[in-house]
Structure 1
Amino acid sequence: MDDNTITQYGDELYQAYVDRKTVPPLTARTPEITLEDAYRIQSRMVARRLQAGETIVGKKIGVTSKAVQDFLGVFQPDFGQLTSGMIYQEGDSIDLNGLIQPKAEAELAFVLKHDLVGPGVTAMDVIRATDYVVPCFEIVDSRITDWKIKIQDTVADNASCGVFVLGKTHGDPRQLDITLAGMVLEKNGEVFSTAAGAAVQGSPANAVAWLANTLGALGIPFKAGEIILSGSQSALVPVADGDQLTCTVGGLGSCQVKFSGRSAV
């Protein structure tokens, strides 16, 4: 794909984010689009957000659990860039007016105390480099009409990043079995789904190692202080005005989020 088309699609997705509108799937318009093309489009879209004053605060791993893969029809992991404009803290209310067609997923976030540079990174390296883990919610959002995405569409759309909410409870992954720890997701006081860390590529640390190695091969390191979202342990949860979600990780604690307003779709 030529540079002009890369720029055109990246700018189109950025404008869709700004205007809270969707665009037709890129793969329907350009069937020959490759994953490499899609990541270049992602880079352009993210660059526009940085030009508008945001900064990179971390990375996210997407499409790691079977539940999400089955829902989206996408069967390989991807990654996106987290920016300063996406962060919420537990206790904040998420304004759906800023989103288009949001869905929530519960997962574990890693906050790094050391740089982590692949390739060759193992799950144990990830644990050693982690300052703490927290339960969190990622509110994914798609600029692609009706979530009709293939892997290239979601990659180009910055892995369908919306916003994310970090819990207040910090845990030491050297003291917590993040693979076997159970996660319970409740919606409005009722259990919506249950899972364990093993639902994410065998362990959330495996997913983070995969991303460190994938980005390391591209010359992109993880940096101390960055937030790494390790991938959903839950099914995708539709959210609307007044909804409240709680995810609880055994041995760690909970993260709670409320929603207000109305999304574009």
Structure 2
Amino acid sequence: MTPADAEAALRAARGARRTLAPFTDADPTLDEQWGYDVQSLDRARRLGSGETVIGAKLGLTSAAKQQRMNVDQPIVGFLTDVMRVEAGSLARTVPGWAQPRIEPEIAFVTAQALSAPLTLDEAARAVDGVCVAAEVIDSRYDGYRFRLPDVVADNTSAAGFLVGPLARPTDLDELARVRCELEVDGHVVHEATGAAILGHPLRALVHLSEHLARRGQTLPAGSLVLAGALTDAVPLLGGSRYTIRMTGLGTLSVGA
């Protein structure tokens, strides 16, 4: 399976709202670099069709997500303007996805361009603002069953995202102690703290900076970065309401 063939297969499945068997079922020798080669073709095609890359996203940064997806390291994808969803339009968007799930995230807005590896202190200085966010994931693979190359090729299952108001915390160290609750229809189904993201959410920026440096890429100032899910995702079902609460960052509530 060449990267070009895989990109075409993923694009066709996305358009038809159907899922595929993981590519690694047929070829277990596929590796992480192959996945990023497919992702690069996907990004180039989206840009060619008029989408604009507005940020990046980290995936599988929490132990809960890594255990559920049987993947043992963080991964990186991209965000475009088309993926941004306003709370009032989520219900109209849900039918366009095949097997959507929603998960709570901490989002950063960058104060500077990212292109070289950052220390944790440098990552803090690279933050202009923070907000509570939700990511909608929609894997192209049957039953969310995949290996690392598959999910990287699928742009880390990225489908959509929603963000709350921008905050500018005076002490970013506190992000590790932020308490997060995910409610579905008024019932708390998952809880976590910011430390679920690699021990501290700022480490997501460190990991992203290292990823960009290895590939000679730059993320411009003012970009949005989703640091990764704090908890496991839950199915996004029509008629349900999802509320994410984070101490110090606020609340995001949306109906599907």
**TM-score category of the 2 structures, normalised to the smaller one:** over 0.9
Q: Which runs of 4+ in 1 moved over 4 A?
A: none
1:114 Cα deviation after fit: 1.3
Q: Does 1:27 align with 2:55?
A: no
* Counterpart AA for 1:53: G
| Residue of structure 2 equivalent to 1:10 | 7
CA contact (8 A) 2:177 2:193 kept: yes
TM-score (norm 2): 0.95
Please give the alpha-carbon distance, in whole angstroms, between the structure 2 residues aligned to 1:117 and 1:199: 25
Say whether residues 1:123 and 2:102 are aligned partners.
no
The answer to whether residue 186 in structure 2 is matched with residue 175 in structure 1 is: no
**Distance across 2 between alignment mates of 1:43 and 1:118:** 20
* Alpha-carbon distance in 2 for matches of 1:164, 1:11: 24
- Asked whether the equivalents of residues 135 and 253 of structure 1 are also in contact (C-alpha less than 8 Å), the reply is yes
Separation (CA, whole Å) in 1 of partners of 2:38 and 2:123 = 28
Deviation at 1:93, TM superposition (A): 2.4
| Cα contact 1:91–1:256 (8 A) shared by 2 | no
Stretch deviating more after TM superposition (195-204 or 10-19): 10-19
Q: In structure 1, how many angstroms separate the alpha carbons of the residues matched to 2:211 and 2:128?
A: 21
Gaps of 5+ in 1: 260-265
CA–CA distance in structure 1, aligned partners of residues 61 and 178 of structure 2? 17
Alpha-carbon distance, 1:236 to partner: 1.2
Q: Which residue of 1 aligns with 2:98?
A: 100
Greater helix share, structure number: 2
Give the Cα separation in 1 of the matches to 2:187 and 2:215: 43
1:1-60 deviations in whole A, cap 9, x for unaligned?
7xxx11111111112112211122110122111111110011112222222211101000
Residues 64, 77 of structure 1: 8 Å contact kept: yes
2:139 pairs with one of 142, 145, 164? 142
* Structure 1 match to 2:250: 253
In 2: Cα distance, 1:83 partner to 1:127 partner = 24
Contact (CA 8 Å) 1:92, 1:257: kept in 2 or not?
no
> 3-state DSSP class of the match of 1:114?
coil
CA distance in 1, matches of 2:26, 2:205: 33
| TM-score, length-scaled by structure 1 | 0.92
Alignment of 1:47 with 2:40, yes or no, is: no
- Aligned partner of 2:70 in structure 1 is 73
Equivalent residue, structure 2, for 1:38: 35
CA distance in 1, matches of 2:67, 2:4: 31
* Count of residue pairs the alignment pairs up: 254
Q: Distance in 2 between matches of 1:258 and 1:68?
A: 24
User: Which sections of structure 2, spanning at least 5 residues, go unmatched?
Assistant: none
Post-superposition shift, 1:128? 1.1
Offset of 1:100 from its aligned partner? Answer: 0.9
Q: Kindly indicate whether residue 208 of structure 2 is the aligned counterpart of residue 215 of structure 1.
A: no
Residue of structure 2 equivalent to 1:236? 233
Q: Which amino acid aligns with 1:115?
A: A
* Structure 1 equivalent of residue 80 of structure 2: 83
Equivalence for 1:109:
107
Letter paired with 2:3: I
Does 2:193 match 1:196?
Answer: yes
The offset of 1:175, in angstroms, is 3.3
Whole-Å Cα distance in 1 between the matches of residues 123 and 246 of structure 2?
19
Aligned partner of 2:151 among 154, 157, 182: 154
Question: Could you tell me how far apart the structure 2 residues matched to 1:30 and 1:51 are?
Answer: 29
- Aligned equivalents of 2:120 and 2:106: distance in 1? 15
Q: Report the 3-state secondary structure (helix = DSSP H, G, I; strand = E; otherwise coil) of the residue aligned with 1:40.
A: helix
| Preserved contact between residue 61 and residue 228 of structure 2 (Cα < 8 Å) | yes
SS in 2 for 1:251: coil
